[in-house]
């Protein structure tokens, strides 16, 4: 499936952020005909079999026709099988297995990056998913529980042998979380050794970083997280029709970010109850505003909103100040 993905930059699956309203607002930066991969938030294989579509923001899939790739947490075959069947019915075009999340409550259930403690076990989990679907299965992973490339390589080869269609590497250890620097050399070395595509992730904040990652790692795609929420037009990197509309200076970038927030609010109001909309929008602004001059003020102002009408007013008023967008920030959230 990744070979059919024409977009060269893809959104990362992020808890509380990669939901339908965000995805659909970002999709407007790509021509409708351009194929991409659109991830969901992490979904629990233990809960999914008992849920109905649109029960929560995480399982709103109004964009099922754009290349939906739900990300699944799981380690037991019956739950994985039943979850994938439901996700297929809901329009999934591929399934991504999370082996990279370092959050404590995920690790307690032996999900996420905890699976990287045992290569054979992780391989078996991938095989469970592959057996459960005819659709592609990918795996998102970290550098591991320790900085040991030989272990990482053998681990990834096990996933390849298990039938993974591609892997995404965020080259930080579990302990690092988002601290320190991502070691892009591990992406390059993994790409050199695997037969399946490798997607690079980590420390990509601007157009120059995208160029640098492709150049230095030769990865097949670049995945961006929070920075792409601040600069959503970068999802069109390498797509000629999309790049024609890229902003030309920090002021234009900031204004386009503001319009993205308003479109996300439009979709959230359409899909979600007001309490969900306010919570999701505040979370989106919190994580995307560090690239914006006085972004903390935008966040503080929108936190005052008691309803979506006030939220919209606060966003519109803030961008009348003509703020600027930064290429990079060291502020980790």
Q: Which two tokens stand for residue 136?
A: 């592609």
Tens digit of pLDDT per residue, the chain (333 long)?
787 889 999 999 999 999 999 999 999 999 999 999 999 999 999 999 999 999 999 999 999 999 999 999 888 899 999 999 999 999 999 999 998 655 544 444 445 556 777 889 899 999 999 999 999 999 999 886 667 889 899 999 999 999 999 999 999 864 555 556 899 999 999 999 999 999 999 999 999 999 999 999 999 999 999 999 999 999 999 999 999 999 999 999 999 999 999 999 999 999 999 999 999 999 999 999 999 999 999 999 999 999 999 999 999 999 999 999 999 998 777
**Segment holding 95, helix H or strand E:** strand 95-99
CB burial string 100-118: b at 16+ within 10 A, e below:
bbbeeebbeebbbbbbbee
**Contacts made by residues 178-181, CB under 8 angstroms, sequence distance 24+:** 178/332, 179/332
This prediction has a pTM of 0.94
Cβ atoms of 246 and 34 within 8 Å: the answer is no
Q: Quick one: which of 240, 160, 140, 241 has its CA closest to 200? A: 140
Rounded distance between C-alpha atoms, residue 247 and residue 233, angstroms = 8
Q: Which two tokens stand for residue 228?
A: 């792409």
Rounded distance between C-alpha atoms, residue 94 and residue 131, angstroms = 13
Tokens 């936190």 identify what position?
303
Q: Quick one: which of 115, 95, 223, 243 has its CA closest to 170? A: 223
Residues 6+ apart with CB under 8 A from 126: 97, 137, 139, 158, 159, 162, 163, 164
Please report the pLDDT score of residue 108 as a whole number. 46
Rounded distance between C-alpha atoms, residue 95 and residue 42, angstroms = 11
* List 101, 206, 219, 303, catalytic entry: 101
Tokens 């407007």 identify what position?
28
Rounded distance between C-alpha atoms, residue 193 and residue 179, angstroms = 27
3-class DSSP state of 313: helix
For the chain, give the number of residues: 333
Q: Quick one: which of 66, 24, 37 has its CA closest to 222? A: 37
Q: How far is CA 8 from CA 155, 182, 224, 237, 239, in A?
A: 26, 20, 11, 6, 8
Task: Label residue 6 exposed, middle or buried (CB < 10 Å: 0-12, 13-18, 19+).
Answer: middle
Please report the pLDDT score of residue 149 as a whole number. 87
- The reply to whether 101 belongs to the active site is yes
DSSP assignment of 30-59, as one string?
S-TT----EEEEEEETTTGGG--TTSSGGG
Please report the pLDDT score of residue 179 as a whole number. 58
């Amino acid at each position: 499936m990744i070979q059919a993905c024409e977009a060269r930059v893809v959104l990362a699956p992020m808890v509380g952020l990669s939901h339908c309203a965000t995805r659909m607002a970002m999709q407007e930066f790509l021509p409708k005909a351009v194929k991409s991969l659109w991830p969901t938030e992490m979904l629990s294989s233990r809960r999914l079999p008992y849920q109905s579509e649109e029960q929560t923001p995480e399982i709103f899939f109004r964009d099922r026709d754009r290349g939906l790739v739900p990300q699944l947490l799981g380690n037991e075959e019956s739950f994985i099988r039943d979850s994938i069947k439901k996700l297929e019915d809901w329009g999934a075009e591929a399934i991504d297995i999370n082996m990279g999340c370092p959050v404590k409550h995920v690790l307690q259930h032996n999900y996420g990056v905890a699976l990287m403690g045992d290569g054979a076990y992780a391989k078996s989990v991938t095989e469970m998913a592959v057996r459960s679907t005819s659709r592609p299965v990918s795996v998102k992973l970290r550098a591991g529980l320790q900085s040991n490339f030989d272990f990482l390589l053998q681990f990834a080869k096990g996933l390849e042998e298990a039938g993974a269609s591609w892997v995404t590497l965020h080259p930080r250890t579990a302990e690092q979380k988002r601290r320190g620097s991502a070691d892009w050399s591990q992406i390059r070395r993994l790409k050199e050794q695997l037969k399946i595509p490798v997607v690079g992730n980590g420390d990509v904040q601007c157009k120059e970083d995208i160029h640098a990652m492709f150049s230095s790692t030769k990865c097949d795609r670049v995945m961006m997280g929070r920075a792409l929420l601040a600069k959503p037009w970068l999802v069109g990197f390498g797509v000629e029709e999309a790049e024609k509309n890229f902003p030309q200076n920090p002021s234009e970038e900031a204004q386009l970010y503001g319009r993205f927030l308003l479109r996300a609010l439009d979709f959230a109001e359409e899909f979600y109850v007001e309490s969900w909309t306010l919570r999701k929008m505040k979370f989106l602004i919190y994580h995307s505003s560090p690239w914006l001059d006085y972004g903390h003020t935008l966040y503080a102002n929108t936190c005052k909103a008691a309803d979506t009408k006030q939220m919209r007013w606060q966003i519109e008023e803030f961008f009348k100040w003509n703020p600027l967008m930064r290429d990079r920030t060291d502020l980790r959230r």
